[in-house]
Amino acid sequence: MDEEQEHQTHNPGQDDENEIVAEGASVVHGEPPSDDNGPPKVDSEVEVLQEKVTKQIMKEGHGQIPSKYSTCFLHYRAWTESTRHKFEDTWNELRPLELVLGKEKKEMTGLSIGVASMKSGERALLHVGWELAYGKEGNFSFPNVPPMSDVLYEVELIGFDETKEGKARSDMTVEERIGAADRRKMDGNVLFKEEKLEEAMQQYEMAIAYMGDDFMFQLFGKYRDMALAVKNPCHLNMSACLIKLKRYEEAIAQCSMVLAEDENNAKALFRRGKARAELGQTDAAREDLLKARKYAPEDKAIGRELKLLAEHDKAVYQKQKEIYKGIFGPRPEPKPKHGVIVTQLILIWQLLISFFYRLLKREKHHGD
């Protein structure tokens, strides 16, 4: 209980050994992977990896390539080349794939050949012939993959663990998985302090990959608390990096994962509110920030964001006021009364003429 209270009252603007603060970091621009409009168009040189596998680099990676039996963590999208139908996307699921090179499933042989040639952080377009994909029969899990379909993969290698015996996460004990995730998290924190945001996110995402839904579902009591103490900070650190990279929707998704486990997490509320404000979602942003201030009333960063929202609302109100004024126009001024005066003078003149006419007529009558 004491630990829970300490967590809830922790200041979102303060650093600790588990979490990082991104509000003061320099901005680094990055680009999210391409969207769902079919396979990406790539102009880079085609590299032949094997008779049935070619690769085109979309983004350069760093470091070494993985060796056999390395446990690789990657995101990918897959399309059948003939129909251009996308049948799988791990980015949408926010769940990286774990692939042990040399121990992959048969239908992933071509994908593994491509991944084995990639460096951490590299993104590439792979063309895999049907013989090294889903074969003559296609795939029962993906009905839209017809028999003998060549496959296009957009792949990003997040990173890999060099494990000589090819030990997958499923073969690790709970302590081993949490320990491996924690090491990745600490590596990510070091990279963040060096302002290497993309590389830091790779480490956080690998840490999260060790604690997928299937793993967390099995945990109770102290083991679940241990896992969340590593997993949630990784999501928060990811959100901090994504905000700096101006990838606000992704940052919101990371914060929402934390709030699903801890609805009163002040850091998650603050960062989600900040990301929503950047997207113009002011009502939702204000709701998050007010709730964050409830659990961290002394935090100045929350106060600054709420002040910015108030100034934004004031500016919007003034702008709308000017727009409406332009639509309806200025208030009409009363017309001068010159017309009324002229009319009255004419009537008086007509009365005078009539009076003199009658008077002259009467005098003439008396003369006769």
> Which pTM does this prediction carry?
0.63
**Tokens coding 8:** 């809830």
CA atoms of 320 and 8, how far apart (whole Å): 40
pLDDT at 317: 74
- pLDDT tens, position by position, 205-245: 889 888 877 788 888 888 888 989 999 999 999 999 999 99
- pLDDT tens, position by position, 341-355: 667 777 787 777 777
Count Cβ atoms within 10 A of the Cβ of residue 142 and give its class: 0-12 exposed, 13-18 middle, 19 or more buried: middle
- pLDDT tens, position by position, 41-67: 999 999 999 999 999 999 999 888 998
Residue ranges of alpha helices (H) inside 141-247 are: 174-193, 197-209, 213-216, 221-244
CA atoms of 292 and 201, how far apart (whole Å): 24
Mean pLDDT of 331-341: 58
pLDDT at 333: 58
Nearest-10 Cα torsion for 255, 260, 265, 270: 30
CA atoms of 318 and 315, how far apart (whole Å): 5
Taking the chain, what is the end-to-end CA distance rounded to the nearest angstrom?
127
Structural domains of the chain ordered from first start = 46-161 (3.10.50.40), 174-319 (1.25.40.10)
- pLDDT tens, position by position, 281-318: 999 999 999 999 999 998 999 999 999 988 888 877 77
84 DSSP 8-state letter: -
Question: By three-state DSSP, how is residue 348 classified?
Answer: helix
Buried b (16+ CB within 10 A) or exposed e, 277-316: beeebeebbbebbebbbebbeebebbeebbeebeeeeeee
pLDDT at 248: 95
pLDDT at 161 over 90: no
